[in-house]
Amino acid sequence: MSDTAVLCAARDGAMWITLNRPAAMNSITPAIVLGIEAALDQALADPQVRAVVLTGTGRAFCAGADLKYVREQTQGDESATAAFLQTVLRLMNRLETFPKPVIAAINGLALAGGLELVLCCDLVIAARSAKIGDAHANFGLLPGGGSSVRLPRKIGPTRAKYLLYTGEFVPAEQLVAAGLVNEVVDDADLMPAAQRLVAKLVPKSSLVLRRMKALVDDGLQQPSETALRLELLASEVHSHSHDMREGLAAFEEKRKPQFKGC
C-alpha cells in the first residue's frame, strides 16, 4: 500500500479520490486536506473528468479528524486548533460547491468529519456494512466541518439531533429513507456501483450538470419564489448554449447528442 495520504486516478470519466490512511481509519490531517484539494484541482482542469468519486481504503471511509494529530500538534494552542478547523472547513465548502458532481462511495465507517465529507457530496452510495454517525459528542467535541448545519437540512432536525446527541453509528441502510444515502449495495459491488453511476453522468452535458447543481444548492437557500425566478433566468441564459441547441437537434434527428459543455 502506498504511503500517500490520498490516491487519485482519472479513469472512465471520473476522478477517483481514495483516502489512504487505513491504519488511522483515514482520519483527517492537513495532508489529507491538501491531497483532496490537489485531486480536485486535477478534476477541474481535465475536461474528460465528468464526476468525482470519493472513497477510502480499509474498514473506514473516514473516521473524522485525526484526534491524535489535534492533541499532539496543537498542544492546547487555540490558534493552531482554529487554523486546522479552518483548513478542514475550507475543504468541505469547496467540495460542496465543486462544479462537477461529487459521489461518496462509503466503504466503511463515516464518522464526524467523515460524515461531514459525505454531507458535502451530491450523491451517496454505501456498502451494506457501512455505518454512519456524527460521533463528536462521544469525545466532548463540537462539529467544525458543518454537520450541525448540513445534517439537519439534509435529514431534518429530529433525526439530525439523534445522531448529533447520541454519537451512535447507524447502518447506512437506515439512512436511505432519511435522504442521506441514495443506494446501499453489497460490499463487493460498491465500486462497480459507483462506476455505473458515473456512466450515467458521463453522456450528459457538463454545462447542464454544473448549472443544475448550482440551481438546486442555491435554491435551497432561497424562498421558493426567488428560487423559481432564478431558475427561469438561468433557463433563459441556457437557451443560448450550444448544448441546448445540440440536444434539441439530436432529439429531432433521433440520435445521441454530442455535448461540448458550452
**pLDDT over 60 at 59, yes or no:** yes
Question: In the chain, what are the domain boundaries?
Answer: 6-201, 206-253
Q: Is the pTM of this model over 0.85?
A: yes
Q: How far apart are CA 105 and CA 54, in angstroms?
A: 6
Predicted local confidence at residue 1, as pLDDT = 38
Q: Which CATH class is domain 6-201?
A: alpha beta
User: What mean pLDDT do residues 160-171 have?
Assistant: 97
Q: How far apart are CA 88 and CA 115, in angstroms?
A: 13
Q: How many CA atoms lie within 13 A of 191 on its CB side?
A: 12
- Check residue 260 and give left, alpha or beta (phi > 0: left; psi -120 to 50: alpha): alpha
Nearest to 40 by CA among 93, 79, 109: 93
Encode pLDDT of 172-196 as tens digits.
999 999 999 999 999 999 999 999 9
Band (pLDDT 50/70/90 cuts) for residue 72 is confident
Encode pLDDT of 212-229 as tens digits.
999 999 999 999 999 999
**pLDDT over 50 at 200, yes or no:** yes
Band (pLDDT 50/70/90 cuts) for residue 143 is very high
How far is the CA of 79 from the CAs of 70, 144, 146, 230, in angstroms?
12, 14, 19, 40
